[in-house]
Structure 1
Amino acid sequence: MPVIKTTSLRDLKTRVNIHDVVARVVALKPAGGGRFKGLCPFHSEKTPSFNVSADKGFYKCFGCGKAGDILNFVMETEGLQFTEAVEALAQRFNITLEYEEGSGGPTKETRSLRQEIFDIHDLATEYYRQAFLAQTPHGEFIRNYWENNRKFTAEIGDEFKIGFAPTEDSGLAAALLKRKFSEDALRQCGLFFTRDGAVLTHHTMRPRFRGRLMIPIRDHQGRVVAFTARQLELTPKDDASHEAKYVNSPETPIFTKSNLLFNLDRARSHVADGKPFVLVEGQLDSLRCWSVGLKTAIAPQGTSITEGQLALLRRYHPTVECFFDSDSAGQKAALRFLPMALKAGLEVRFLMLAGAEKLDPDLLFLERGLAAYEEVRKSSLSAMDFACRSLLPNISGASAEQKSRAATALFEIIAQTDSNVARMSFLGEIAGLLRVPPGSLERDLQSYLAKNANSRFAPANNAKPAGAPARAAANPNDSRGKATETHLLFLCLHHERLLRALATQLPHEWIDSSHISGRLLDRVLAEVSHGDWLGRESLEQLIETEEEKTLIASLLFEVVDDDGLAKIANEGMRALQRRFLEPRQRQIELEIASKGSNGDSDLLSLLKQRAEITRQLLNPLKLSLDF
C-alpha cells in the first residue's frame, strides 16, 4: 500500500477549505465567526445542528456527535478508506501528492473497488457520448431522435453527456479490459452480463444496454454512478428487456437508486428563497425543465419517492413543489409522496394546471417554455388542499360518512409531522375544506392518535428524543479531574503561546493519562516538547479513536474568551498540582505517624519531603506567559 508523505497531507489540509468539501453535500449557511451551519448528513434532522469551522478545518454535529476534518468527512460520506479519501481530494482540487520512497504511488491493484467503478462509469459515459456523436447511420439516427423526436437541443445533450449504446458492440468491454480494471470491478459495475466462472473477455462480457438512448445518472456530488437507457427503434429484439421503455442500471457498490435524485447535483446550486425544488416524475421531464430555464427540477430514479431521497432534499431546501403528470397514476404517486414529505419536515405545494387541461410537464414546458411554470404556480395547491381534492373530489356533494373516511385518511397523513403547530394548522385548513366544525375534527384527531399510538402512524413527537439518554448519562462519568485536563486541552487548542508554555513548564507526571482528555493533552504537549508540533494540522496524526476525534472537534467549537487566560491556565495547573501532591502528602503523614518520635534517617527524610510538598502547595507553580 502506498504511503502518502506527511508533508503532502499537511499541504492538502492547508490548501483545501473544509467549507468547499462539505458544501458539495450539505447546504451551509453562515453562522458567524468563520462558522457555517446546515442539516447533518449523518442523521435525519429538521433543525440544523451540523457545524463547520472554516478557520479550524473541523466539522461537528451537536445532534449525533459526528466530528472530524476534511478527510473524515470524505471517508464518511463517500465510503472511502483513508488513502482513498486523500487521493480523491487531491484529484478533486488538483493537488499533487508525494509518496514515501519505496512505497510507490497508487496502482490498479491498490485502488478501491468503488473508485474503479467510478472510473469505469466515466469511461462508459465518454464511450456512449462518442457513439451519439459518431458520423454513422446510427449516430445520425440518435441525434435526429434527440433533436426532432424529443425536441431537445444539441447543447443540452452535450451538457448532460447524453449518449447512445451501440446495438451490437464489444468496444466498451475491450476498452475497459485494455485499461486492466479488476475482474470484481468489471463484474460488479452493472454495465455487463457475465457468467460466473467464465474468463472475462470482450466476447464473454455482454453489454446490458444495447440500441438505447443513454442518460447518465449522477450522485449529488456530480459523479456518474449509473445510467437510464431509453428504448428506441434500434433496440435489438433479442434484448432481455426489449419491451421495457426504460431500463436502469442495477444497484452496485456506488449506486443505490432509492438514495439518489436525478439532477440534484445541479439543482441544489439553484434553490433559494422563492426558488424551491420542483419534483417531476422522470429524467426527461427534469431535462425539459432545465432546458427552458427551470434549474431546480429533480426526479426520482424510476421508482416511487423514498424517505432517503426526501431527507437528502431537506439538507438543501425546506420546500418542494410537486409536479407530477395529471393522470391517475401521477396523482396517486403525489398522494403517496405527501406523508413522507411531511415526515421529512418538508413544506409541500402541488403544481396544477387550471381547469380540466391535462398535460404532462414535458409537453407543457416544450410548448410554453418557462412562462408555463409561473402559470401552474398560480393554480398550485397546498398540501391539505391537494389531499382533500384527491380523497374527496366532490366535497360539496359528499355525505357525512364520506367526509369521515376522508378525515381519517388525512389524519394518517398529518400524523407524520412532529410539529404540533403544523398539525393544528393543517387541521384548521382541513376543517374549512371539508366544511366541518374544527372542534369536532380536533376531537376525532386526538381519538385517532390515541388509537394508533403504537402504530407506524404514531406522531413522531411522542417518541423519546434520540440521544437523550446518552446526554443525560454523560455528566456522571466526567469527574472533576477529567474536567481539569479537558479545560487545559481546550486552552492549548485555541492558544499557541499558552500551549508552548504548558509544554515546557507543566510536569508530565501531573497529567492523568487514564482518560481521553489526559491522553490527548499528554500527546499534544509531548509533540510540542519534541519539536514536532506543526499546528492543528498535526492533530490528525495524534488522534487514535473516534472518541478522541469527537472530543477534539467539540473543544474546537467551544466559544473562546481571551480574558484572564494566564489566571485560568494557572488555576488548572494548581488543580493538577494538588491532585498529584496531596495524596503523596497524606501518605507521608501516615508513614511519619507510624515511626513515632524515633529520630532515624528515614523519619528525617520523610519530614523533609513533607516540608517540600507543603512549600510547593503554598507556592504553586505559575506559568510564565507573555500575553
Structure 2
Amino acid sequence: MASDFAQTVKQQADIVRIIGDYVRLRKAGAQNFSGLCPFHSEKTPSFSVHAGRQFYHCFGCGQSGDVFSFLQKIENLSFGEAVKTVAQKCGIPLPKREFSSAEEAAESRQRQKLLELHEAATVWFEEQLRSPEGATAREYLTGRGLTPQGIAKFRIGFAPDNFNALRDRLKGMADEATLRATGLFSFKELEDGKPGPLYVRFRKRVMFPIANESGRIIAFTARALESGDKAGPKYLNSPETPLYSKGQVLFNLDKAKQAIRDAKFALLVEGQMDCISAYLAGIANVIATSGTAFTEAQVRLLRRHTTQVVVNFDPDTAGANAAEKSIALLTEEDFQVKVVTLDDGLDPDRYIRERGVPAYMGALRGARRHTDYLVERARQLFPPVTAEAKVKALNYLLPHIRRVPSRIARDEFAADAAQKLGIDSALVREELKQAAAKRRDHLEPLVSLSESEKVVLRAFAAPLSDAAFTTAAQAVETHPDHFDGLTISPLLKRLAERGEADPMSVIEDAGERAMLAQVLIGELQAVTAEDVTGALEALHHRSLEQRQRSLRAAISEAARKGDGELIQKLTAEKLAVDRELRALI
C-alpha cells in the first residue's frame, strides 16, 4: 500500500470512531477519550485516544500507535490490510495494491486466498444441503425448529459422505499447500516425511460456519448426523489455522455486537444451536463459546462491547462447570454477571422450542446475581448440615469470593455466603484476610514536567510545517545549551529528526513514550509560535539559574582549595550569567 495513500487515509480517518468500534470510549478532555485497554487486563481505564493528534496510548501496558497499528494489533492484520480496512470504513477508493516487502505480500495473499476458499466452501456446503443427499440434514434442522430463512441467515450447510468432492471443487482456486492451510482437509504423512494426498475432513455432517467479527467465514463447526464410534465426535471444529484460533472467536459476535451495545449486555450461551435459536427468536444480543472453554482472549473481545453478561449454559455437570469457569474469568475482569438456570434441566434451544419465546424472556428477566447462583450451587454440592460439609462449601466459594475486585462487593458476597451456610461471618472474613490477593491496577508515576517543557514537547510533536515546530527546532539548533539537563532533552533530538514519521513511533523507550503521550493527551489547544517563544524564554531563564547555582558552588569549592586563578575565571563567567538573567527580566 503506497505510503502517500496511507497518509491520505490517516488524515481523513477519525481514530476515535474507528477505535470506538472495539473499545467503549468516554470523553475525558477537550480531545481525549479513555477506556479499558483491549491489549491487557485492567479494571481502571488507562487507555487514551487523542482525537487531534490521532494516536492512542495505554499507560498500563505501554501499547501505543496510530489508527493503522491499532487495527494491526486488534485484528491481526498486516499494515496493508489495516490501511485497506480504514479506507473502506472511511469510504475512500482503494488504489492498486502495493506492499513493503515480499513477505508481507505473500502473507496478505495467503490470508485473502484462505478467506476466498472458506467462502467458496460455505457456498458449496449450502448447495449440498439443498441437494437430494442433504435430505437427512434438512430433516435434522427442521426437527431443531429451523426454517429455510433461519438456515440461510446463518448459512448452514451439509458436508456429504465424500472424501474428494470439496477438494475437487476448490483445487482450481489454490495450490495444495494453501488447501492444507484451510483446515478443511486431512492428510497422512508419507514415509519420506512429505504430506500425502488430501481428503475432506468433514463428511456426513451439518456445517455451521464461524465468522470473524467482520462477518467473514474463517472456520466451521460440523455436527455429526450419525452416532457410534465410526461417526466420530458429535461436534468437530476446524483446527487452528492462520485465520482461526478457537479461543479468540465468539460465535455470532459479528451479528450481535450492535445489539449488545444497544441492550448494554450480552447473553452468553454454550452451543451454536442455543445461540441460533435465541437469535432467530428475536434475542439479537446473544453469543456463544461454540462448545470451547471460555478464554481470557474472549473476555477481552467481549469487553470492547459491554461489561454486563447474562450466562445461560446447559444445566448438566459439564455445563455447570463451564459456567463456573466463565463466571470466574468474567468476575476477575470486573464484569457484572448474572446467571439463568432454566426449569427441568432444559438448554436454551429446547426451552425456546418447547416453552416459547415469552417464557424464555421471562427466564432472562429472572436471572440471578452470580453470587447467589454460586452460593446455591455450593449448598447443592455440599449440603451444609455438618461441619465437614460447611468447610467444603466454603472452600468451594472462597476462590470465587477472592476474585471479586471490589472490596465492598467481596465483603457482601462473603457475608451472604456465611449466612446461607450457617457459618460465623467473622470466620469467613478471617479466611479471606489470610488468602485474599491484592487486586488493583498499578501505573508507574510519570515524571513531572514544567508547563514550559510541555509546550516545547507539543511543538516538537506538531507537523514539520507548523510554525510552532519551526520556532522550537530553530531554538534547539541555535542554543542547545539552553536545554541541557532537562528531562525532555533526549526526546527533542529524536522528534526533530523524525521526518514525516509520527511522533509516538520514533520514541522507543517505554517511559519516554508514556511521558510524551501524557503531555499530548493533556493538550487543551494547539500550541502557537507565540506559546513556544514564551516557553523557550522560561526554559532559558531556568537554564541560566541552574548555571548560576552551579557556578556559585564551583566558586566556593575553588575558594576552599585556594585556587585564585580559577576563582577569577568562574567569577567572570558568573557575572556574565547574572547580566544575561537581568536582561531577561
User: TM bucket by the smaller chain?
Assistant: 0.7 to 0.9
The code of the aligned residue for 2:34 comes to: K
Q: Which has a greater percent of helix?
A: 2
Query: How far off is 1:128 after superposition?
Result: 2.5
**Contact kept? 2:484, 2:543, Cα under 8 Å:** no
The match for 2:43 is 46
Query: How far off is 1:429 after superposition?
Result: 2.2
Q: Percent identity?
A: 28
The match for 2:144 is 150
Query: 1:127-148 CA distances to partner (integer Å, 9 max, x unpaired)?
Result: 33243235531355544543x2
The match for 1:555 is 519
Change (3 A) 1:327 1:504: closer
The match for 1:370 is 357
Q: How does 1:132-151 map to 2 (within 5 A)?
A: 132-133=126-127, 136-139=131-134, 141-146=136-141, 148-151=142-145
Query: How far off is 1:552 after superposition?
Result: 4.2
The match for 2:121 is 127
CA distance in 1, matches of 2:369, 2:579: 77
Q: How does 1:10-159 map to 2 (within 5 A)?
A: 10-31=7-28, 33-90=30-87, 95-98=92-95, 110-113=104-107, 116-117=110-111, 119-133=113-127, 136-139=131-134, 141-146=136-141, 148-159=142-153
Query: 1:153-204 CA distances to partner (integer Å, 9 max, x unpaired)?
Result: 2333333222333432545445655344583x44333222234579999992
The match for 2:437 is 459
**Contact kept? 2:188, 2:195, Cα under 8 Å:** no
The secondary structure found in structure 1 opposite 2:260 is coil
TM-score by length of 2: 0.81
Change (3 A) 1:506 1:366: same
**Contact kept? 2:164, 2:200, Cα under 8 Å:** yes
**Contact kept? 2:186, 2:200, Cα under 8 Å:** yes
Q: How does 1:284-303 map to 2 (within 5 A)?
A: 284-303=273-292
**Contact kept? 2:458, 2:520, Cα under 8 Å:** yes
**Contact kept? 2:31, 2:50, Cα under 8 Å:** yes
The match for 1:570 is 534
Change (3 A) 1:607 1:430: closer
Aligned pairs, number: 572
The code of the aligned residue for 1:63 comes to: G
Query: How far off is 1:427 after superposition?
Result: 1.9
CA distance in 1, matches of 2:574, 2:518: 40
The match for 2:221 is 228
Change (3 A) 1:607 1:394: closer
Change (3 A) 1:619 1:410: same
The secondary structure found in structure 2 opposite 1:304 is coil
Query: How far off is 1:345 after superposition?
Result: 1.6
2:373 to 360, 364, 386: 386
CA distance in 1, matches of 2:282, 2:327: 26
TM-score by length of 1: 0.76
The secondary structure found in structure 2 opposite 1:216 is strand
CA distance in 1, matches of 2:406, 2:49: 27
CA distance in 1, matches of 2:480, 2:356: 74
Query: How far off is 1:296 after superposition?
Result: 1.7
Quick check: 316-325 or 385-394, which moved more? Answer: 385-394
The code of the aligned residue for 1:217 comes to: I
The code of the aligned residue for 2:132 comes to: P
Change (3 A) 1:191 1:564: closer
The code of the aligned residue for 2:5 comes to: S
Change (3 A) 1:215 1:59: same
Query: 1:259-301 CA distances to partner (integer Å, 9 max, x unpaired)?
Result: 3221223323222586521121101100111001111222213
Query: 1:554-580 CA distances to partner (integer Å, 9 max, x unpaired)?
Result: 332114268998467424345247749
CA distance in 1, matches of 2:191, 2:517: 50
Query: How far off is 1:44 after superposition?
Result: 0.3
Q: How does 1:408-557 map to 2 (within 5 A)?
A: 408-434=395-421, 436=422, 440-447=424-431, 449-450=433-434, 453=435, 458-461=436-439, 467-468=442-443, 471=444, 475=447, 487-493=455-461, 496-503=466-473, 507-510=477-480, 517-518=488-489, 520-522=491-493, 539=502, 543=506, 545=508, 547=510, 550-557=514-521
Query: How far off is 1:415 after superposition?
Result: 1.4
Long gaps (5+) in structure 2: 559-563
The secondary structure found in structure 2 opposite 1:268 is helix
Change (3 A) 1:275 1:568: closer
**Contact kept? 2:57, 2:63, Cα under 8 Å:** yes
The secondary structure found in structure 2 opposite 1:44 is coil
The secondary structure found in structure 2 opposite 1:217 is strand
Query: 1:583-623 CA distances to partner (integer Å, 9 max, x unpaired)?
Result: 7997xx99xx85999xxxxx9xx9999998876655459xx
Long gaps (5+) in structure 1: 598-602, 622-627
**Contact kept? 2:157, 2:206, Cα under 8 Å:** yes
Change (3 A) 1:552 1:76: farther
Change (3 A) 1:423 1:610: closer
The match for 1:320 is 309
CA distance in 2, matches of 1:550, 1:241: 58
The match for 1:625 is none
The secondary structure found in structure 2 opposite 1:316 is coil
CA distance in 1, matches of 2:41, 2:505: 31
